[in-house]
Chains A and B, each alone.
Chain A
Amino acid sequence: MYSRKVIQKFEETLNNPQAHNVGRMDAQAKNVGTGMVGAPACGDVMRLQIEVNDKEVITDCKFKTYGCGSAIASSQQMIEMLIGKTLEEAKNIKDREIAEILELPSIKIHCSVLAEDSIKKAIADYESKKA
């Protein structure tokens, strides 16, 4: 039922997590924003962390995701899209783009929605520390 892209992203992440930004950062650090969305009872939880430099550019990301294969692939796709973007650019990433790139079946669209939500939460967390 999944596209080759979902399967490929899932397997890459599973087999080589370090190379695919799996991990965590110090959530207390000033230059780190953390966004965790979803709930165990719903079957998916995504935790995204972004590292931001003085120019408000995302220089690195780490994530961990509990969820189905497409949730893990969506997280991975989101990371690829985030690194190097400014916060303003990152805010404009839409769940639809992730869904289209991964060719998610309609029943799995919530996975990409979760990814977009985690970006928004991570940025909000970073900005709240700055304020």
Chain B
Amino acid sequence: MKSNLVYFDYASTTPVDQRVAEKMHECLLLDGNFGNPASRSHEFGWKADEAVEKARLHVANLVKADSREIVWTSGATESDNLAIKGAARFYKDRGNHIITSKIEHKAVLDPCRQLEREGFEITYLDPDENGVVSLENIKKHVKDTTILISIMHINNELGAVNDIEEIGKFTRENNIIFHVDAAQSTGKLPIDLSKLDVDLMSFSGHKTYGPKGIGALYVSRKPRVRLEALIHGGGHERGFRSGTLPTHQIVGMGEAFRIAADEMDKDNKKIAKLADLFWKEVSGIEEIYLNGSFKNKIPNITNISFAYIEGESLIMALKDVAVSSGSACTSASLEPSYVLRALGRADELAHSSIRFSFGRFTTEKEVKMVAETTKRVVHQLRELSPLWDMFKDGVDLEKVEWVTH
């Protein structure tokens, strides 16, 4: 990788921590722990099984669950699919109504769409202007037929945090299954499933310095939640998810979560400081808008709309910085970010948005460099922008009759 590239896209994925990589290495070669954890007849299998169970404990410890409540999957997408489709199909005799929000990850929205095709009724709630789904809004839309509510813990574009404690209390009282996509949360916010009334929670390995291709689903035992499996086969993971367990991936995720439990406070303090510094540096730029709210977001994600500049051109101008944008031009669909639109942001501000996300390996030097570069290129791109001219001339862009194509 080019050494002058700065990685500010930790919300997309994280590099594997060196300590994680070393543990994974131990589970690959002939002289390592390569056995099939399901092999009951020899030492190779027993050793692999032991490593898998140790990793399961690490994952469970981070979120204060019982390790028997952790089911390995291929990632948070599979966990979301298993939770939503699995619960809906198992409990379909109770009702056919599901509530989620418009700013969920596609890994939640798309399974919901699939369930609609199967005859379920889905309500997609609007978040408030900061990306938070309120309990009041949920209550307004609950029906007698509601069997499942799926709300994310931390939004991946904004870093906005939902109050899953409050929502959980309500769903538990009303005997509704509550699923939480927590792909962005681990190692960033403490999670205590021994206290939370959450029935199902999705986790990802690679958002927390573990490897890609591994995730987990928490399936509550008290009260016991049941699911219809998506993948059938050898009956692994108590029938929830068949398929030979990838020891090296699991061990990697386990180690990553063990480190997260140990170092969460240290990581968070550092990242909060860097995020403050970054905002202090860039907030002097005219006509920028923070998407989300400082009051209720994790510092790891700073999502800013730079008015009168298109996000993809800003990404191109920030050429040595890896960030992502809500601009249509960076998506295959040519649609601007559905998350920002759901907040009520105008399309042009969605097009102008950049998500900067920081992580364990971000340095102060990088933050200063990226802030400086951002200030410079925003100025440069505005010099190129007819909209900036018009804004400076006092033209009301809302009132212009645009020639669309």
Contacts and interface: CB of A to CB of B under 8 A. Distances in A.
B72 interface: no
Contacts of B327: 43, 68
Nearest to B383: A17
A38 B388 CA distance: 15
Contacts of A36: 386, 403
A36 B404 CA distance: 10
Given A36-B403, A69-B312, A72-B313, A15 B380 contact: yes
B387 A37 contact: no
Given A64-B389, A66-B310, A68-B329, A14 B381 contact: yes
B265 to A, nearest CB: 40
Nearest to B308: A66
A110 B405 contact: yes
A51 interface: no
Interface in A98-127: 107-108, 110, 113-114, 117, 121
B384 A17 contact: yes
Q: Which of the listed residues B317, B332, B351, B403 has the most CB atoms from chain A within 10 Å of its own CB?
A: B403
B30 interface: no
A9 to B, nearest CB: 11
Contacts of A43: 310, 327-329, 336, 347-348, 351
Interface in B374-394: 377, 380-381, 383-389
Interface in A41-72: 41-47, 64-69, 71-72
A121 B380 CA distance: 26
Given A68-B312, A68-B316, 5 more contacts: A24-B389, A39-B404, A40-B387, A44-B310, A66-B386
19 contacts: A7-B316, A10-B313, A14-B377, A14-B384, A15-B380, A22-B384, A37-B405, A39-B402, A39-B404, A40-B348, A40-B387, A42-B404, A64-B384, A66-B387, A66-B388, A67-B329, A68-B316, A69-B316, A113-B405
